[in-house]
């Protein structure tokens, strides 16, 4: 019973007690070492970074180092045994005051600090104020702190910690020495979790550690907390299956099977795998998040093949990812990523998520240049005739794929030509707008021509200022139609910028310039002088009307009067 009462969560039990224990923050430690040993200590420090990378821990270590009674002058490491170090570690030191700005945000809370600044330390060399989540302070609280922060007494030091540095006023930032604590690399987190597991005498699979590290997303505290949870679940041996069930992740093997069938264009099997994942308890959003992770992992391995040897990545991702990287082109991976990412956004704000997920998978199969579902049966019959194995086949198939990579056949060249020709290219915004005229989308054409300002244009992406259009679905409708007509994905974004102009305004300006040029023509000048009051309203190229005039003069087209 005594052991249960004294139990500490692993994140607290293995909290760093020295600067050397900080993981992945070598640059920070080196700078602080130089500053403390040379006695070049700033009035205020600002520690930034994502949750769980060691901001508050570093703040306490700085406080311990500055007030340590037995610290070696050539080192920044606190002794950890003196009265000051022990009291700071147990949060009982009268001269080290911690404040949580998330709960104390007002100007009155800051005034308490300001009033306390004038008093000298009770037992230590410095009076140190640690303010966590400092970005939560109100504007008036920051203003009250400014003067004290710029010119504090010699015995006072401030240490701020925040996850939202952009919310801190520039006037505060300019008075602090800033340190950005970076996300901890996966390989360092893997080593750290293995070390803790050994100390706790817990057996854990490498695959399970890789999953915990990925879920931790660079945060030491989150990763250790997840390890603690996994240990509580099984108590002796932590496996990848345990972690997968605990985190509610989709089965990695089935995710890669789903990628395989999508790549083949096999809609029926793709939807079957999707239903199996759903029925096994996987959340729809997690399924598509894992699909995005899979495509990203395959793309990374394709760009940098050495990644397949990274032990911090689960083994199935390395093996399957390497296999797919050899078979899928970069353009196909790009298309799959775009469709999945757009679908993931729709799922976050949509309804009937299971059905929506099915439609995203079908959209993914049909929008890529892979075999279509209706072609799959033909492909299967041909495979049987030629005795060809499935996409992820045996060694003979790998040899055949290697040979195919070295020689591009005439059939594949023809296929590439067909694919390229089916994608209609648009080189500028005027061609983009003209498409809507040609397709008889009169309302959208008029709005694009007269009411929209072009901010930027490139193939596949347009940025528009459409603030004058009340239809909230305008951008989506435009993107949907132009993607359908051109055979490629287009993105239409909104911007509040006014740097551009509409095509209608541009044409009016061009016409006015043409009229002015025409007025200066010698022959036209004579006509205008000979006929006072005559004006030029527009200019038309006579060749545009020649065909119509000739057509009217033909005998068969003339009418009797």
Whether the CA torsion 351, 357, 359, 363 is positive or negative: it is: positive
* Band of residue 254 on the pLDDT scale cut at 50, 70, 90: confident
Task: For the chain, count helices (H), then strands (E).
Answer: 27, 10
- Is 435 found in the same domain as 357? no
| Measured torsion, CA atoms of residues 65, 70, 76, 78, in degrees rounded to the nearest 10 | -50
The last residue of a domain, from among 126, 157, 180: 180
Q: What is the CATH number of the domain that holds 220?
A: 1.10.8.60
- Is 398 found in the same domain as 313? yes
What per-residue confidence (pLDDT) applies to 130?
92
Residue 393 has pLDDT above 50, yes or no: no
Model confidence over 301-329: pLDDT tens digits?
888 877 767 766 767 777 778 888 888 88
What per-residue confidence (pLDDT) applies to 182?
86
- Is 548 found in the same domain as 488? yes
Structural domain includes residue 118: yes
Q: What is the CATH number of the domain that holds 281?
A: 1.20.272.10
Opening angle at CA 157, ends 91 and 22, nearest 5 = 60
What per-residue confidence (pLDDT) applies to 27?
87
- Percent of the chain past pLDDT 70, that is, above it, reads 82
CA atoms within 13 A on the CB side of 255: 25
Q: Which range has the worst mean pLDDT, 73-77, 124-128, 310-314, 520-524?
A: 310-314
- Is 142 found in the same domain as 96? yes
Residue 361 has pLDDT above 70, yes or no: yes
Residue 70 has pLDDT above 70, yes or no: yes
* Band of residue 407 on the pLDDT scale cut at 50, 70, 90: very low
Structural domain includes residue 1: no
Residue 548 has pLDDT above 50, yes or no: no
Residue 268 has pLDDT above 80, yes or no: yes
The last residue of a domain, from among 156, 180, 204: 180
Residue 128 has pLDDT above 80, yes or no: yes
- Is 293 found in the same domain as 236? no
What per-residue confidence (pLDDT) applies to 483?
85
- Is 349 found in the same domain as 305? yes
| Measured torsion, CA atoms of residues 503, 504, 506, 512, in degrees rounded to the nearest 10 | 160
Structural domain includes residue 238: yes
Range of the domain at 240: 186-247
- Is 59 found in the same domain as 200? no
**553 versus 106: which is more confidently predicted?**
106
Structural domain includes residue 448: yes
Model confidence over 188-232: pLDDT tens digits?
888 899 999 888 888 888 888 888 888 887 889 988 988 888 888
What per-residue confidence (pLDDT) applies to 304?
82
Looking at 487-560, list the stretches that DSSP marks H as alpha helix, in order from N- to C-terminal side. 503-519, 522-530, 543-553
Structural domain includes residue 135: yes
- Is 212 found in the same domain as 64? no
What per-residue confidence (pLDDT) applies to 45?
92
What per-residue confidence (pLDDT) applies to 417?
42
Is the CB of residue 365 less than 8 Å from the CB of residue 262? yes
Q: Look at the chain and report how many structural domains it folds into.
A: 4
Nearest in space to 479 (alpha carbons), one of 292, 338, 330, 334: 338
Structural domain includes residue 295: yes
Mean pLDDT score of the chain, rounded to an integer?
79
- Is 160 found in the same domain as 18? yes
Is the CB of residue 478 less than 8 Å from the CB of residue 444? yes
Residue 41 has pLDDT above 70, yes or no: yes
**What is the rounded average pLDDT of the residues 462-467?**
87
Nearest in space to 91 (alpha carbons), one of 66, 54, 128, 55: 128
**What is the rounded average pLDDT of the residues 9-27?**
87
What per-residue confidence (pLDDT) applies to 406?
43
- Is 427 found in the same domain as 416? no
Structural domain includes residue 2: no
- Percent of the chain past pLDDT 90, that is, above it, reads 8
Structural domain includes residue 73: yes
Residue 159 has pLDDT above 90, yes or no: yes
Helix axes 186-199, 220-234, angle to 10 degrees: 40
Residue 252 has pLDDT above 80, yes or no: no
What per-residue confidence (pLDDT) applies to 538?
67
377: left (phi over 0), alpha (psi -120 to 50) or beta: alpha
Residue 519 has pLDDT above 50, yes or no: yes
- Is 33 found in the same domain as 152? yes
Q: What is the CATH number of the domain that holds 25?
A: 3.40.50.300
Tally of CB atoms within 10 A around 363:
14
- Is 315 found in the same domain as 283? yes
* Band of residue 561 on the pLDDT scale cut at 50, 70, 90: very low
Residue 255 has pLDDT above 90, yes or no: no
Element (H, E) at 26: helix 26-37
What per-residue confidence (pLDDT) applies to 419?
42
């Amino acid at each position: 019973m005594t052991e249960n009462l004294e139990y500490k969560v692993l994140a607290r039990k293995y909290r760093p007690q020295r600067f050397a224990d900080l993981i992945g923050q070598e640059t920070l430690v080196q700078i602080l070492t130089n500053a403390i040993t040379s006695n070049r200590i700033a009035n205020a420090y600002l520690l930034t970074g994502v949750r769980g990378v060691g901001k508050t821990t570093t703040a306490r270590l700085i406080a311990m180092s500055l007030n340590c009674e037995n610290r070696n002058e050539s080192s920044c490491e606190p002794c950890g045994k003196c009265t000051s170090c022990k009291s700071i570690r147990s949060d009982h030191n009268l001269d080290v005051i911690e404040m949580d700005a998330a709960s104390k945000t007002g100007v009155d809370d800051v005034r308490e600090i300001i009033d306390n600044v004038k008093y000298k330390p009770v037992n230590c060399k410095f009076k140190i104020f640690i303010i966590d989540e400092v970005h939560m302070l109100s504007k008036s609280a920051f203003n009250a702190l400014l003067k004290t922060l710029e010119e504090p007494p010699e015995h006072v030091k401030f240490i701020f910690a925040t996850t939202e540095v952009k919310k801190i006023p520039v006037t505060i930032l300019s008075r602090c020495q800033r340190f950005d604590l970076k996300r901890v690399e996966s390989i360092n987190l893997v080593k750290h979790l293995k070390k803790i597991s050994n100390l706790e005498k817990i057996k854990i699979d490498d695959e399970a550690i890789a999953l915990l590290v990925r879920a931790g997303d660079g945060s030491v505290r989150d990763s250790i907390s997840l390890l603690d949870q996994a240990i509580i679940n099984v108590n002796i041996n932590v496996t990848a299956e345990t972690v997968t069930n605990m985190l509610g992740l989709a089965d990695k093997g089935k995710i890669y099977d789903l990628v395989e069938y999508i790549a083949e264009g096999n809609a029926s099997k793709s939807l079957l795998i999707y239903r199996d994942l759903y029925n096994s308890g996987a959340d729809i959003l997690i399924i598509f998040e894992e699909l995005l992770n899979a495509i990203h992992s395959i793309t990374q391995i394709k760009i940098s093949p050495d990644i397949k040897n990274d032990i911090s990545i689960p083994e199935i991702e390395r093996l399957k990812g390497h296999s797919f990287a050899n078979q899928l082109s970069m353009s196909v991976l790009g298309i799959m990523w775009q469709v999945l990412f757009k679908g993931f956004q729709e799922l976050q704000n949509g309804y009937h998520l299971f059905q929506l997920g099915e439609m995203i998978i079908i959209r993914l199969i049909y929008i890529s240049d892979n075999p279509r579902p209706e072609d799959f049966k033909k492909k299967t019959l041909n495979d049987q005739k030629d005795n060809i194995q499935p996409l992820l086949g045996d060694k003979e198939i790998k040899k055949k794929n290697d040979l195919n990579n070295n020689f591009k056949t005439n059939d594949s060249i023809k296929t590439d030509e067909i694919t390229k020709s089916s994608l209609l290219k648009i080189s500028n915004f005027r061609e983009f707008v003209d498409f809507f005229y040609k397709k008889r989308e009169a309302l959208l054409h008029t709005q694009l021509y007269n009411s929209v300002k072009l901010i930027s244009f490139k193939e596949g992406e347009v940025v528009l200022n459409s603030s004058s259009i009340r239809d909230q679905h305008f951008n989506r409708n435009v993107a949907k139609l132009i993607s359908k007509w051109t055979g490629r994905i287009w993105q239409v974004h909104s911007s509040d910028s006014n740097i551009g102009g509409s095509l209608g305004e541009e044409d009016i300006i061009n016409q006015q310039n043409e009229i002015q040029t025409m007025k200066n023509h010698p022959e036209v000048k004579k006509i205008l002088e000979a006929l006072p009051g005559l004006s030029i309203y527009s200019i038309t190229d006579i060749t545009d009307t020649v065909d119509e005039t000739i057509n009217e003069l033909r005998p068969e087209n003339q009418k009797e009067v």
